[in-house]
Amino acid sequence: MKKKYNLKGSLKTFGTVLKYLKIYRIHFILSLIFTAVTVGLSLYIPILVGQAIDKAVGVGNVDIPAIGVLLTKILVSVIITSILTWIINILNNRMTYGIAKNIRHRAFMRIQDFPVSFIDKNRTGEIISRTVTDVDTFADGLLMGFTQFFNGIMTIIGTLIFMFIYSAPVALIVVLVTPLSLFVASFIAKKTHSMFKLQFEIRSEQTSLIDEMITNHKTVVAFGQEEKIQKEFDGINDRLGKASLRATFFSSITNPSTRFVNSVVYALVALTGALLCISGGMGMSVGRLSSFLSYATQYTKPFNEISGVITELQNALACAERVFELIEKPVQEPDKADAYEPEAVNGIVEFSDVSFSYTPERPLIRNFNLKTYSGQRVAIVGPTGCGKTTLINLLMRFYDVDGGKITLDGEDIRHYTRHKIRSSYGMVLQDTWLSSGTIRDNIAFGKPDATEEEIKAAAKAAHAHSFIRRLPNGYDTVISEDGGSLSQGQKQLLCIARVMLCLPEMLILDEATSSIDTRTEIRIQKAFTTMMQGRTSFIVAHRLSTIKEADTILVMKDGNIIEQGTHSELLAKNGFYTELYNSQFVKEQ
């Protein structure tokens, strides 16, 4: 669908860019000064050339010494112009990539401040595209703006002044005709802005699909969906090709159009100047005509460059607008100024009439009540979608409750800092997460200052030490963000060792041993039993045989607790828990 050009939005985006430019105002001012000097010297050279031509035109009346002086001045002017141009490029590059660095830094900071709900609802590839690709494209357009735009404007002003000094009537012809170039460039720029924005939106969609495909490649191949994914990619690729071709085609019209107008201007100037030179009117000599034609060329050339710059700036602003849209997304509500952050907590957790839903039209948890005591092991079981993981999200304040409250040691968890709440829990999830780096770095992720002895002790407690020793470089083995060649079970052991190292006051184990073989699981359960001593623990499990020793088991269904008690008590009730347990027992047999 074609989108209309939004002038107000472009001006707002440009204003935001100027705020980032303030940091580099010294670079900007120096760039403008040096640009003015280079433009002045560039305009001074035609005067010297014209004077040299006039002194060389007469037969037998050539002033060689004067021509030598003029040529020396031209050489010095060219050298100074070259040096200043080199310095200007350095200044412009530092400004451009400094602004891009700051914008990307700001965007990444905002992403970390976004609520988990934002990350859950938006495609990863879209966020990556805005943070990386769009910022790079914006930087390229901004660099062209700094490099050519101001130089072009100053050149136009300077050449106008000199042309009016030389011949006001001829200069007036130039002034009346050349604005057509800007009109053409402005008209096309308005048309292409929306096209470029659509192009980047489709590109983000394509990046998202590629990201999902690479991340879940094994699943796609296992289900034989390569052809389906390929068709989906080809559809997006075709739309991107058409959008890119359309944007590029219309933007490419700008330069030829302005060049045509400028060629007409040059022809008019040459013809008028030649007639004046022949008639001797207004003191027009061959040298002065040469200077005037040089000014006419320099005057019209920036219109070609500026037209291209305008197109690139439209492209850059379209990217900047998408990045700033991301940066301006609402972040999670900050902690209160007087939020609690005690050194330690006792681990007494209570849910009081808690209600929550991810979407208002689909209620999930309603009037949920639960009280746990310090050091208690609470297991949570139930069918898929009953709200087990949602309880974990609420405990960690990844989401806040819609109604009621959750308290920790008698105080609403919304009165604590998020850092304190989350650092009070050690969490092992079913889905493992490892970062690029060494095995040692991954285990010490939550405690970077841990000693070598502490890291190895945690690995031994998690039964990971033996397989780590067999790796090529032991604890110094470098792995990729997905764990590389490590098995799913080995990756899970590293995640468990990470929690073993920190040993916070409370634990959350969400299917923590689901990827581990039965023999290792027995050993891990013993380690967990030791680790859970004196710590409030929430254990989400599907294999009910792993939670027999829990102090209390919550049986959930449709967001509510329908049964509660110990393993033996629930079996004696012969209710839903018994049905779950027996169905699993039959499967295991």
Each residue of 451-478: pLDDT tens digit? 999 999 989 888 889 889 998 889 999 8
Map residue 576 onto helix, strand or coil: helix
Q: What is the 3-state secondary structure (H, E, C) of 512-529?
A: CCCCCCHHHHHHHHHHHH
Q: Is the pLDDT of residue 394 over 60?
A: yes
Q: Are residues 57 and 190 in the same domain?
A: yes
pLDDT band at 588 (very low <50, low <70, confident <90, very high): very low
Q: Is the pLDDT of residue 406 over 90?
A: yes
pLDDT tens-digit readout, 538-577: 988 777 767 888 889 888 888 788 888 888 888 898 888 8
**Lowest-confidence pick of 97-101, 262-266, 363-367:** 262-266
DSSP letter at 560?
Answer: E
Q: Is the pLDDT of residue 5 over 50?
A: no
Burial class (CB in 10 A: 0-12, 13-18, 19+), 263: exposed
Q: Is the pLDDT of residue 405 over 90?
A: yes
Q: Are residues 314 and 365 in the same domain?
A: no
pLDDT band at 587 (very low <50, low <70, confident <90, very high): very low
Higher pLDDT, 1 or 219: 219
Q: Are residues 279 and 145 in the same domain?
A: yes
Instruction: Label the pairing between strands 377-381 and 552-557.
Output: parallel
In a domain, 85, yes or no: yes
Cβ atoms of 203 and 240 closer than 8 Å: yes
State the amino acid at position 263 in one-letter form.
S
In a domain, 124, yes or no: yes
Cβ atoms of 322 and 130 closer than 8 Å: yes
In a domain, 389, yes or no: yes
Q: Are residues 262 and 287 in the same domain?
A: yes
- Measured distance CA(405)–CA(125) in Å, rounded: 35
- Measured distance CA(347)–CA(124) in Å, rounded: 35
Query: Which pLDDT score is estimated for 390?
Result: 86
CATH code of the domain containing 343: 3.40.50.300
In a domain, 393, yes or no: yes
DSSP letter at 377?
Answer: E
Q: Are residues 296 and 351 in the same domain?
A: no
Cβ atoms of 543 and 521 closer than 8 Å: no
Q: Which two tokens stand for residue 435?
A: 């970062």
Cβ atoms of 289 and 180 closer than 8 Å: no
In a domain, 346, yes or no: yes
CB atoms under 10 Å from CB of 586, counted, come to: 8
Find the mean pLDDT for residues 102-117. 85
Q: Of 295, 327, 359, which residue is a domain's last?
A: 327
Q: Are residues 274 and 393 in the same domain?
A: no
Query: Which pLDDT score is estimated for 456?
Result: 92
Q: Are residues 13 and 156 in the same domain?
A: yes
Q: Of 305, 327, 349, which residue is a domain's last?
A: 327
Cβ atoms of 534 and 375 closer than 8 Å: yes
Map residue 408 onto helix, strand or coil: strand
In a domain, 74, yes or no: yes
- Measured distance CA(560)–CA(367) in Å, rounded: 8
CA of 300: how far to CAs of 20, 35, 389, 559, in Å? Answer: 32, 18, 67, 72
Q: Which two tokens stand for residue 44?
A: 């001074």
Q: Are residues 95 and 160 in the same domain?
A: yes
Q: Are residues 115 and 198 in the same domain?
A: yes
Q: Are residues 342 and 315 in the same domain?
A: no
Find the mean pLDDT for residues 387-396. 86
Q: How big is the chain by its Cα radius of gyration, in Å?
A: 36
Total tally of structural domains belonging to the chain: 2
In a domain, 298, yes or no: yes
- Measured distance CA(168)–CA(273) in Å, rounded: 11
Q: Which two tokens stand for residue 198?
A: 């659509």
List, in order, residues 6 or more apart from 89 with CB less than 8 Å away.
Answer: 147
- Measured distance CA(494)–CA(455) in Å, rounded: 11
Q: Which domain holds residue 270?
A: 7-327
List, in order, residues 6 or more apart from 109 with CB less than 8 Å away.
Answer: none
Map residue 365 onto helix, strand or coil: strand
In a domain, 473, yes or no: no
For the chain, what percent of residues have pLDDT higher than 70? Answer: 83
Q: Are residues 157 and 32 in the same domain?
A: yes
List, in order, residues 6 or more apart from 496 with CB less than 8 Å away.
Answer: 428, 462, 464, 512, 524, 527
pLDDT tens-digit readout, 490-533: 888 888 888 888 888 898 888 776 666 777 777 777 777 777 88
Q: Are residues 367 and 258 in the same domain?
A: no
Map residue 507 onto helix, strand or coil: strand
Query: Which pLDDT score is estimated for 344?
Result: 83
CATH code of the domain containing 215: 1.20.1560.10
Q: Of 327, 351, 375, which residue is a domain's last?
A: 327
For the chain, give the mean pLDDT: 80
- Measured distance CA(153)–CA(182) in Å, rounded: 12
Query: Which pLDDT score is estimated for 545?
Result: 67
pLDDT tens-digit readout, 237-284: 888 888 888 877 777 776 676 677 767 776 776 666 666 666 655 555
Cβ atoms of 570 and 555 closer than 8 Å: yes
Find the mean pLDDT for residues 36-45. 86
CA of 91: how far to CAs of 28, 99, 136, 304, 423, in Å? Answer: 8, 12, 18, 24, 45
